[in-house]
Chain A
Amino acid sequence: MKTKLFGILAFAFLGFAHYWGLRVAPPDALMGDVYRILFVHVPAAWMAMLFFFLSFIGSIGYLIKRKNSWDQWAESTAEIGLVLTGLTLVLGSIWGKPTWGVWWTWDPRLTTTALLLIMYSGYLMIRKLISDPERRPKISAAIGLLTFLNVPIVYMSVKWWRSLHQVQSSPQTMDPVMVLPLRLGALALLAVCLFFLIVRLKIAKERAVREEGGSS
């Protein structure tokens, strides 16, 4: 019941933040209204990174503590991170078409994000493949850890290419009228993701209980 209430509040907050971004914030001097996707796209990218990092923590936690709850944490956060990465790419494409004139280009930032999507899809696929509940967490933790190790390398290695994706604006270079809805949007998305995480962890726990009942 509490979870449901939290979920409703989180979505209401998201709606409020987006109302701010869509209606209250002024249009951009160069891009007009197209820029408004920033209020969704940028928070999605931030949260995707955050959740992959949380998944990495989960993998480490499992390797140290060997508790299944860490493994469930790693899986749930990775799934949410994957959805957010997909969302980031789709939203970026929608913005790219009117701005750059193409849906997709092999820009380093875009390429690394797409690679993240493939890497974590592989990670989640291998999780589904291993039916042995005793071996699954160990192998997944190993793969999850190595997968994340690659993220900064990929990110840094392509920074040496020239990039089409614009450099991040800092709050100093942005109008405060636009910074506020961006921050609101990020916070709201975080709340929604936390709601997803709570629900997903519950599902993972129930699944684990069922697996234990089935195997013994």
Chain B
Amino acid sequence: MKSTKTLLGLMAAAAVLTLVACGDNGASAGGSDDGDGGDSAEEVNLTFATFSPDQESAIREVLDVFEEQNPGVSVEIQIIPWTDYWSTLQTSTAGGTGPDVAWMLGAKIGQYIDGGVLLPLDDAFEESGLDIEKYPEQLVDLFVDDGTTYALPKDFDTIGLWYNKALFDEAGLAYPTPDWTWDDVITNAKALTKPDGSVYGIGAPMDPQATYYNTIYQAGGEVISEDGTTSGYDSPEAIEGIKFWTDMINVHHVSPTLESFADTESVAQFMSGRLAMLTTGSFYAIRFANDPYSSENFDVTELPGGAQEATIINGIGNVALASTEHPEEAARLAVFLSGEEASQISSETGTVIGSYDGTQQAFVDAFPQFNLQAFLDQAENGVVLPVSRNTDAWASREGEFLTPAWTGEQTVEEAAAGLAGAMNEALAQEN
């Protein structure tokens, strides 16, 4: 009953929006026809879809520069909330009513490339005079298929070891350093944990990008084989990498439980002083800087090493959709949004690390209270967030299968074996 009403409401809203949108286009198209009769420059309106309201002002700044350099082209930002973003982009693109340019992730791009709905950006890139060598190589590979570039990374993020200086001082311990090992983390976490449960040494949430992917690669394992056909979860190294975290909860008792993280996000627990350490991304720098307690007490260093050094690196790309009416301008915009100027502006805001080499110092300088250089130093050990052609098909199963390992109901070996089986099945379907 209620959902029917909601649905009707949505349809009505969609109808109104469509009308408004049509009205807009019609008006401006008509205007340029009448007004600029002899002028060759036609008014071009592009829409650009993103999922981050936080970055809107930075994006607008970038777009203003683009509009200035491309007279006659105007760009409208369309912010679609994360929970709706991918289904909206997919359905509207498949229906030919999508935006002209949009944000893209490595985990999602495979389906779009296979569907043939993306514009190649090679020509526009060449024209822009940008240097491909200046982008993090691992991320560029994510968006290139068969030698054709479909997107360029606009930014990147890596994972670091954040810590609460006040809690380290209280326990009389030295702050973490880049040369820490896994054992150092465990020893210190034990010393930091208070028996009454008010402070835990570290947070061990079940978060692929922030926790266990990193340690799987540090242990020498892999999430997915290099050719993208088989799961790496059943290797001893991957199991070791997962165990590092489950042991924190079930063996060493230095982290709150998974139940606790379900109730209160790990970052929220960290910001309230309940966790002394948390491994998470550069993308939280702005949130920590805006919070007085975190800004004063937090700092960050490189991830501790396992058998080898590794951190998960990820970034957002900008794609141009083939359904656009202005392919040339759309491709130029997609490249510009990942270019040097855009990168510089992103870094200066401190929201993300600009991807173009040479613009990143601005990010480090944005919040001098944190040692953000650690995130840049790690980039060379970056392992790109593992993806396949249809990442969601198996990534959505990870939580399901690993939960019993986190709660201690199953051994990591059992959970990982189950996950590997389901993942191999999903991968078999896409190949």
Partners in one complex: no
B positions within 8 Å CB-CB of A: none
